[in-house]
Amino acid sequence: MHLLRVVAPRVLTIAVPLALFATPGVRAQGAAAAPSAAAPSVATPALTGALRWADSARRIIDRAVVRGDTAQLLQGAALVDRALTAFPEHGLLLHYRGYAAYRLGQLAMSRKQEDAAEARYEEALAWLDRAVAAQPLAESHALRSSCMGQLIAGNALRGMRYGAAASRADDQALALGKNNPRVLLLQAVSAWYKPAMFGGGQDKARQLLARALAAFERDTPGPGLPSWGQAEALAWHGQWELAAGRAAAARAAYQQALTLEPEYAWVRYALLPAVR
C-alpha cells in the first residue's frame, strides 16, 4: 500500500487514496449525474446561500472518498461547479472544487493513470490557489503543498517550479493550523516517506500521527468546513503498527476506522483482510 514517492524536503505528499477499492455494488467510473434543480436536501437546514452548497458538496465528496466512488466524486465536483455560477469566488466552494480534483488525482494514480493523475493535481492546484486568495484555510494550503509534491514526484524537473512554493504552502498551513488534525495527518504521511536528513523519518511521522489522532478527538469544525481524516489517520496508524509487527494493534486501529466509517472501502476490502 505504500505507493508514495519521496520528493524534495519539506514538501507535503500523501499516498494514493483512502479508498483504493470500490465497495461492491458502487457505481463504476463515469459521468457525474446532474444535480437536481432544487437546493441540496442533504445540507444542514440552518445553512443558506453559498455555505449551504459548500456543506452539501463536502458531504458528497467525503462519502465518495470513503466509498471509492469516482462517479459520486465527479457528482460532488459538478455540484460545486453549479454553485460557483452564483458564488464565483466563494472560498469554501473553491476549496471543495480543488479537494474533489485532488482526490480524483489520487484515484487516477492508484490505477497507474499517471498522466490523468498529474492533470488532476494541476487542476486541483489551480482551484486551491483561488481558494486561499478568497478564504485562507489551513487545509487548502496543506493540499496545495501536497499537490505540488505529487507533481514534483512525477517529474523531478518540476522541483524548480514548485519546490519553494510547496515549502511556503507548508509554512502557511502550519501558521493557520498548527494543531489542525488534517494538516498534521498530511505532515505525518509525508514524514514517513521522507528521509530524516530532509526533516522526515519514521519517528517523526509517528509523533505527528499521534498528535493528529489526539487533535481529531477535539476536532469541531464549523458548518461547511473540512471534517475529513479521522478514519484515514487510523488507517495509517494501523499500517504502521503492522509494519512494526504489531498485528493486533493494527487490527484494532482498522476496526476503529470502520466504527467511524463502516463503508470505508480501503480498510474493509484491502487493509483489514491483509492482517487476517
Type of residue numbered 196: A
Whose CA is closest to 121, among 149, 86, 80?
Answer: 149
Whose CA is closest to 84, among 34, 49, 32?
Answer: 49
pLDDT of amino acid 9: 34
pLDDT of amino acid 45: 53
For the record, the C-alpha cell of 160 comes out as 524548480
Torsion from C-alpha of 73, 78, 79, 82, nearest 10 degrees: 170
pLDDT of amino acid 173: 97
> Which class is domain 49-275?
mainly alpha
pLDDT of amino acid 52: 95
Instruction: With a cut of 50, list the residues of the chain below it in pLDDT.
Output: 1-41, 43-44
pLDDT of amino acid 46: 74
pLDDT of amino acid 81: 98
pLDDT of amino acid 36: 40
Cβ atoms of 214 and 233 closer than 8 Å: no
Query: Which pTM value belongs to this model?
Result: 0.82
pLDDT of amino acid 158: 86
